[in-house]
Structure 1
Amino acid sequence: MNAGAHPLQTHEALFITEQMSRALHLCLDRVTARRSAVLFEGASRVGKSRCSEYVTGQLKDTLPEVFTTRHIARHRDPGKRQSALKELCASEHVLPEARGVDYLQHLLAYIEGQVTGRPAPQCVLVIDQIQRWLQNDFHVLADLYDYLESSGIQLTVIGFGQANAISERLSAFRVLEHDQLVARFFSEIIEFKGCENVGQLTAILQACDAGSEYPVGSGISYTAFFAPAAFAAGFRLAPLADWFWKAFATRVKGKYVDNLPMQHVREAILDLLLLIAPHDSVLFEIDERMIQEAVYCSGIAMFCNATDAL
């Protein structure tokens, strides 16, 4: 079997963490209540982008009557009022072919076409990396909100972004007394964290043991894929959660204490399975030193050192 195409290797593995479940529950509630916005802020690599993908997919499945779309905000230079609207059109693959088209009206027509005939027209815009948007982009978003509202369409914005940057945007709007923007888009900001405790880490490891599958349709869990003989003899990752947590706890610092970045958790799990694979047998016994090495190889200490100064 090709380990290079394994979801843990390709970053396609999706662990439904406690934070993701909480975020989805909140988003479903806010969309159903037809709120204007909810923002999730957190440190780098804790899983915000994966959560934005998960929330988008679940909203589409759970609320098919609502038009839901996901957009990744791009870095932009200041002073380009139309850029956010053009970016949204490009994201939906509906850029106008003619020159001089009003992007606001063009996007409005597109959204109206998606919700025509629905009993309570609503558009949910999930924006990942929302901290990249500048002040003027939020004014443009407010224009979109107002025009949709005048057409009887509710816009709900769900944003995911970096904590410090979102706070800076909010502070700037308060200084400028842009109260309407604050009330509409920044009135609910919720902290998003990574893996917070041993219990959550145990659930992630358990997913590798029993709640995962590769190749698709094989019934083979992630753990069993890399160590089939040891797995058949009873080896599992979940009982190793305490050792994993201890190894991470000695290397994380600052904002990542009790807030493990999910990218490094996934990489540590993969590194451990790769270390185990050559020694796979029914007699295999795990050594805590292997877990220490796997967590070290994930690069978590270097990452924390680099980000601690930011």
Structure 2
Amino acid sequence: MSLQIPRPIDPSLHPLVTGNYRIATPAIEELYELVTRCLRYRIMGALIYGPSRIGKTRAIEYVRLLLARNHPRMTSYHARCEHKPRHAEGPFFANLLEAVGDQDPNAGSNPAKRLRLALRIREAAARAGSGTVLLFGDEAQRYNDNEYEWLRDVHDALDRQQIKLFTFLVGQQELLAQKTAMQLAGKTQIVARLMVEELAFYGIRNAKDVATCLSGYDETAYPERSEWSFTRFYVPQAFDAGYRLVNDADALWDAFETAHHKASLPGTLEIPMESFARAVEILLKDSELRDCPGYCPEPALWAHAVRHSGYVQSRHAIGRVLVAAAL
């Protein structure tokens, strides 16, 4: 029985249990390529838009981890743009100060907050040894014109101090409409600084995408540089006998497709990363008890994992929100 096989770490500390891991999807790989292209060509701003709950926040976290590994001298921040009843300067700068790690983001006047934000970023850039800083604004469709102007002011203030701030605005489809509205209103200075490039973000769209993601579980080791891939950690006997999750790409896609049609969900199937990851986690945890040489999950177990992944429930919830918004 695989539970009796010694593991290199306490199973309760594994990233699959803690949730502290990220798997690349084709859309995340495109986002990373966009970021590196902007850095290479000195394009200071881009917007990334896509449906709600499709995996954009996870994508930001993955890209930041990759940047930290491949470009350790660059500093990156993840600011979660808050919903605010009124768009005031104080809360805007307090939100950014919190993102850059300020100890007391709400303290001081608005001019003091502006100065402190530039100071914190400058200090971090000096520690890292590079004048390149990246800011990911999550749910950026919540910004209004004034907040985009203030963000442009931050760019200008840092530029005067020889620090290049690259801004990646990530949010829902409204972002694209905001860009169009600014272009029509002649606010080209904001578009030219913050919204030059565009990327439509998407979920997992077909069995090939599923295979790309499942390969991540088969190939990612924890502890790092050990022989214990995520898949092997849970089904070591099956893994050592040749089983790989990627072999089941079609089975997992079929299970999601069946659930999608059975629930009469509108549109074509596009799996959010959150639902996908939960389905794989359920499958691996349930397979641990069944592990043996030659083990291969039954299609019914994939169907069970998809049923409990939250995919159908989250799609129904989004549908209800859209209906309510339309009323």
The aligned amino acid for 2:94 is K
Summarize the Cα distance change of 1:285–1:131 in structure 2 as closer, same or farther, 3 Å threshold.
Answer: same
CA distances 1:89-119 after superposition (whole Å, capped 9, x unpaired): 2222334797335211222233334446999
Summarize the Cα distance change of 1:278–1:122 in structure 2 as closer, same or farther, 3 Å threshold.
Answer: closer
Aligned-pair CA distance for 1:201: 0.9
> Do residues 208 (structure 1) and 217 (structure 2) align?
yes
User: Is the Cα contact below 8 Å between 1:8 and 1:266 reproduced in 2?
Assistant: no
1:102 maps to 112
> Do residues 178 (structure 1) and 180 (structure 2) align?
no
Summarize the Cα distance change of 1:44–1:3 in structure 2 as closer, same or farther, 3 Å threshold.
Answer: farther
User: Is the Cα contact below 8 Å between 1:69 and 1:125 reproduced in 2?
Assistant: yes
2:3 maps to none
Aligned mate of 2:18, from 1, 10, 17: 10
User: Is the Cα contact below 8 Å between 1:38 and 1:158 reproduced in 2?
Assistant: yes
Summarize the Cα distance change of 1:178–1:14 in structure 2 as closer, same or farther, 3 Å threshold.
Answer: same
Summarize the Cα distance change of 1:116–1:33 in structure 2 as closer, same or farther, 3 Å threshold.
Answer: same
| Structure 2 CA distance for aligned equivalents of residues 59 and 297 of structure 1 | 33
Alignment map for 1:1-310 (pairs within 5 Å) = 3-94=11-102, 95=104, 99-100=108-109, 102-115=112-125, 121-163=131-173, 165-170=174-179, 172-174=181-183, 176-209=185-218, 211-215=219-223, 218-252=226-260, 253-254=265-266, 257-282=268-293, 284-309=295-320, 310=322
| Structure 2 CA distance for aligned equivalents of residues 87 and 8 of structure 1 | 31
**Root mean square deviation of aligned Cα:** 2.9
Aligned-pair CA distance for 1:245: 0.7
Aligned-pair CA distance for 1:222: 1.9
Unaligned runs of 5+ in 1: none
CA distances 1:276-296 after superposition (whole Å, capped 9, x unpaired): 222222253432112111111
User: Is the Cα contact below 8 Å between 2:75 and 2:128 reproduced in 1?
Assistant: no
Alignment TM-score, normalising by the size of structure 1: 0.86
| Structure 2 CA distance for aligned equivalents of residues 118 and 277 of structure 1 | 43
Aligned-pair CA distance for 1:140: 1.0
Aligned-pair CA distance for 1:4: 4.3
| Structure 2 CA distance for aligned equivalents of residues 98 and 265 of structure 1 | 41
User: Is the Cα contact below 8 Å between 2:81 and 2:137 reproduced in 1?
Assistant: yes
The aligned amino acid for 2:32 is L
Aligned-pair CA distance for 1:41: 1.2
Summarize the Cα distance change of 1:269–1:115 in structure 2 as closer, same or farther, 3 Å threshold.
Answer: closer
The aligned amino acid for 1:84 is F
| Structure 2 CA distance for aligned equivalents of residues 117 and 204 of structure 1 | 35
Identity %: 26
Aligned-pair CA distance for 1:43: 2.0
The aligned amino acid for 1:70 is H
The aligned amino acid for 2:77 is T
CA distances 1:240-290 after superposition (whole Å, capped 9, x unpaired): 1111111111233446x3421111111111122233222222253432112
Name whichever of 269-278 and 60-69 sits farther off: 60-69
Q: How many residue pairs are counted as aligned between the two chains? A: 307
User: Is the Cα contact below 8 Å between 2:48 and 2:198 reproduced in 1?
Assistant: yes
User: Is the Cα contact below 8 Å between 2:97 and 2:117 reproduced in 1?
Assistant: yes
Summarize the Cα distance change of 1:32–1:248 in structure 2 as closer, same or farther, 3 Å threshold.
Answer: same
User: Is the Cα contact below 8 Å between 2:243 and 2:294 reproduced in 1?
Assistant: no
Alignment TM-score, normalising by the size of structure 2: 0.82
